[in-house]
Structure 1
Amino acid sequence: MNNFGKVFMLAFWLSFAVNFFVPLLGEQSAWLQWVGIAFLVAHAFECIVFRKQVHASYTNPAEGYAVVMLFGALRTAAWMRKKA
């Protein structure tokens, strides 16, 4: 995983969480919530699709699922290349 992608995703998830309590963008903060919800759904789908790889790569599957939920395709890209 590249460092820029990790920092970007962590900053996004932090702003998504803070936005629940304090609208960061004022009236325009709704798009941040919708993008965050879309990311949650997409990463949950990745957890389902790559379930076997998560269990094979991590001794604690909860840690693997957390990494996939945080970073999504940044983490699963290596698994996608192996399938192709």
Structure 2
Amino acid sequence: MSIDVDVSYYVGIDNNNFSFYIIYYYNEEELNKANLIEDLEEYPTEKLYLGLCEEFPEEKEELKEIRDDRDALIDFIMNKIDDKMAEIK
């Protein structure tokens, strides 16, 4: 996961299974998250799961429990983004 801090925030994940990024502007955070969720819904659930296991190997057990639940996998991603955003605000 990479984060650049400037006028906006860039958060991205790029691995063998999927690639995405989100750019946060100060007043449009929720709109950006809605767009990202919409984009993530196009990824196959299995690719989301495998990509998250690759990106967060220390959390494979938690991910295994939600492996077949697309909404839970997307929530996992959103929580990771929120955690990173909290670190830089």
Identify whether the pair has TM-score above 0.5, normalized to the shorter chain. no
Scaled by the length of structure 2, the TM-score of the pair is 0.32
Structure having the higher Rg: 1
Whichever structure has more strand as a proportion of its residues is 2
**Greater relative contact order (Cα 8 A, min sep 6): structure 1 or 2?**
1
Whichever structure has more helix as a proportion of its residues is 1
Scaled by the length of structure 1, the TM-score of the pair is 0.33
